[in-house]
Amino acid sequence: MVIKKKVFNVMLCTVVALYCSGATAAGSYDHAVEENGIKMFWKVADDELHVKVTAETSGWVGVGFNPTEQMKGANYIVGYVKNGEVVLHDDFGDGKWNHSEDTALGGTDDFTIVGGHETDGHTTLEFSFPLDSGDDYDGGIDPQGRTVVLLAYGGKRDSLRAMHRYRTTLTVNLATGRRE
């Protein structure tokens, strides 16, 4: 089951996501990477990728997968926590330096919010999504192959229009956790 609403009460979201989708509970991830104040934890389970991303910011945090050129062609999950609510967007890199919501391009939101919180200047988001949703604006991910991962976070604003304060690109094998 894919939950398609963008804003959830964190407590309700966690209960619904864990019950309905069998999503990974917080802390049970197989692999992790860290770069300059942003960490991504993940686990591949069946046909889904379960992700936890946290950064030293009280603003937005985002992760993208498999761009074709700069930001273009990547599947992005970006969001923030405001007043105890997780706000997530499923975006697609529709240009070399920008991305737009899948739904605005004719696609669908294909993620399940597991949870999130903002504590002591750190924003943490947890979500899962299908490795192959069938949405043209998500692209498929082969966990056994090379996956290019884009990590970024913004400043102190809960706005996805704010530019990133930090961004990086790395390549990993999602199944083994090995960085390339």
81 within some domain: yes
The pLDDT tens digits of the residues spanning 111-132 come to 999 999 999 999 999 999 999 9
Q: What is the pTM of this model?
A: 0.83
What is d(CA 52, CA 50) in angstroms, rounded to the nearest whole number?
7
Task: Look up the CATH number of the domain holding residue 166.
Answer: 2.60.40.1210
Q: How many domains does the chain have?
A: 1
What stretch of H or E contains 20?
helix 10-21
Token pair for residue 140? 């498929």
Q: Which domain holds residue 142?
A: 7-173
- pLDDT at residue 27 in the model: 56
180 within some domain: no
